[in-house]
């Protein structure tokens, strides 16, 4: 066979039993989930800021970072809901490189998925305990969802996964907001089709079971820019892009039309320092159009303690080992600027 079975990993049930979410935190999460859901249904005019490292590679640094976010959240609570990015799976275009803490709990050591699943859950639980903020993670692997189903308040499906049937159907069985990114081609209809699929009810096979989903009315779009056939980045956060997406939304029978703008990736041409400028333009577009204000519910920002990125092994605390990120000082200033303009 072309696959070697190395070892059986821990089951979601065993992981929950060993590392449970405390009852007090379950109640806090239920309250936070309701608050976030109201943004997508239009019952709340708060603005979402989904912000954090490209990849959550180090528990101490990530929890330090989210603790800083918690202090900022207290000051902007009347206008902004901060959702920390704790991304534990990292998609790799070529399959090479660091794939996230689930694969490598220690980036300098060999992969260990059993220990990685434990490290992933422990990091999320520690962040919740220290901040009372509930995080976002990327659904790189649909099979991973049961390991975090009681912890996350937001899920994103990436540009390379959004056309995949299993991702779409799995999202249809989740009861928190899930953002479907436009594919790398930028085709908006593909992104919207994924929302149609995710909002519908389906019968499908999942983790060895025949299951039936209820449909997720909080599935929505994320604009992250595109790449053309010449490998050139094409941003799609401009006013005209948002007008077009709004028009396309209203031709479809979709619940809760909503969009999050990813300020990095192809929108910034991976120039992380452009993110504040991009967010500023998005806020301006919202200020001049009620339709866009209603459509755009928040922004997604890649940020860590130190700006830029580093190679694995350099050992700079709180600096990304994958894509470059905005530093803390710029991030804090940006969140306050957003609050001033909402």
When comparing pLDDT for 65 and 92, which is higher?
65
Task: Report pLDDT for 1.
Answer: 60
- Span 171-195, average pLDDT: 97
Contact 202, 169 (CB under 8 A): yes
Does position 273 have pLDDT exceeding 90, yes or no?
yes
Question: What does the alpha-carbon distance between residue 84 and residue 67 come to, in Å, rounded to a whole number?
Answer: 10
**What is the DSSP code (8-state) at residue 85?**
B
Task: Report pLDDT for 122.
Answer: 97
Task: Report pLDDT for 95.
Answer: 72
CB atoms near residue 8 (< 10 Å)? 7
Interval 293-308: pLDDT, tens: 999 999 999 999 999 9
- CA 42, 137, 161, 175 torsion-angle sign: negative
DSSP track, 281-334: HHHHHHHH-HHHHHHEEEEEEEB-SSSBB--TTS--TT-BSSS-BB-HHHHHHH
Interval 211-243: pLDDT, tens: 999 999 999 999 999 999 999 999 999 999 999
Which CATH architecture group holds 12-341?
A: Alpha-Beta Barrel (3.20)
What is the pLDDT of the chain when averaged over all its residues? 95
Does position 151 have pLDDT exceeding 70, yes or no?
yes
Question: What does the alpha-carbon distance between residue 135 and residue 65 come to, in Å, rounded to a whole number?
Answer: 12
Task: Report pLDDT for 96.
Answer: 77
**Residue ranges of domains in the chain:** 12-341
Task: Report pLDDT for 98.
Answer: 87
- Span 91-113, average pLDDT: 86
């Amino acid at each position: 066979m072309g696959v070697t079975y190395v070892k059986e990993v821990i089951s979601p049930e065993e992981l929950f039993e060993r590392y449970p979410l405390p009852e007090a935190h379950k109640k806090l999460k239920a309250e936070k989930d309701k608050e976030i859901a109201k943004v997508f249904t239009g019952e709340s005019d708060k603005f979402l800021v989904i912000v954090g490292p490209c990849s959550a590679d180090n528990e101490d640094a990530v929890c330090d970072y989210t603790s800083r976010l918690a202090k900022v959240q207290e000051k902007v609570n009347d206008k902004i809901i901060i959702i920390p990015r704790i991304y534990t799976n990292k998609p790799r275009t070529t399959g090479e490189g660091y794939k996230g803490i689930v694969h490598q709990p220690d980036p300098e050591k060999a992969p260990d998925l059993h220990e990685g699943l434990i490290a992933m859950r422990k990091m999320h639980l520690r962040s919740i305990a220290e901040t009372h903020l509930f995080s976002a993670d990327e659904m790189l692997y649909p099979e991973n969802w049961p390991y975090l189903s009681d912890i996350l308040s937001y899920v994103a499906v990436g540009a390379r996964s959004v056309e995949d049937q299993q991702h779409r159907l799995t999202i249809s069985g989740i009861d928190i907001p899930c953002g479907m990114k436009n594919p790398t081609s930028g085709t908006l209809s593909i992104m919207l089709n994924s929302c149609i699929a995710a909002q519908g009810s389906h019968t499908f096979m999942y983790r060895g079971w025949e299951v039936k989903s209820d449909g997720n009315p909080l599935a929505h779009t994320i604009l992250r820019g595109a790449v053309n056939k010449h490998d050139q980045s094409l941003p799609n956060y401009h006013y005209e892009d948002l007008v077009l997406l709004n028009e396309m939304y209203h031709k479809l029978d979709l619940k809760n039309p909503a969009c999050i703008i990813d300020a990095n990736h192809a929108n910034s041409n991976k120039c992380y320092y452009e993110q504040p400028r991009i967010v500023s333009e998005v806020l301006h577009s919202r200020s001049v159009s009620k339709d866009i204000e209603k459509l755009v519910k928040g922004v997604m920002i890649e940020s860590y303690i130190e700006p830029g990125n580093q190679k694995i092994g350099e050992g700079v605390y709180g600096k990304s080992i994958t894509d470059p990120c905005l530093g803390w000082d710029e991030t804090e200033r940006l969140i306050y600027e957003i609050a001033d303009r909402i």
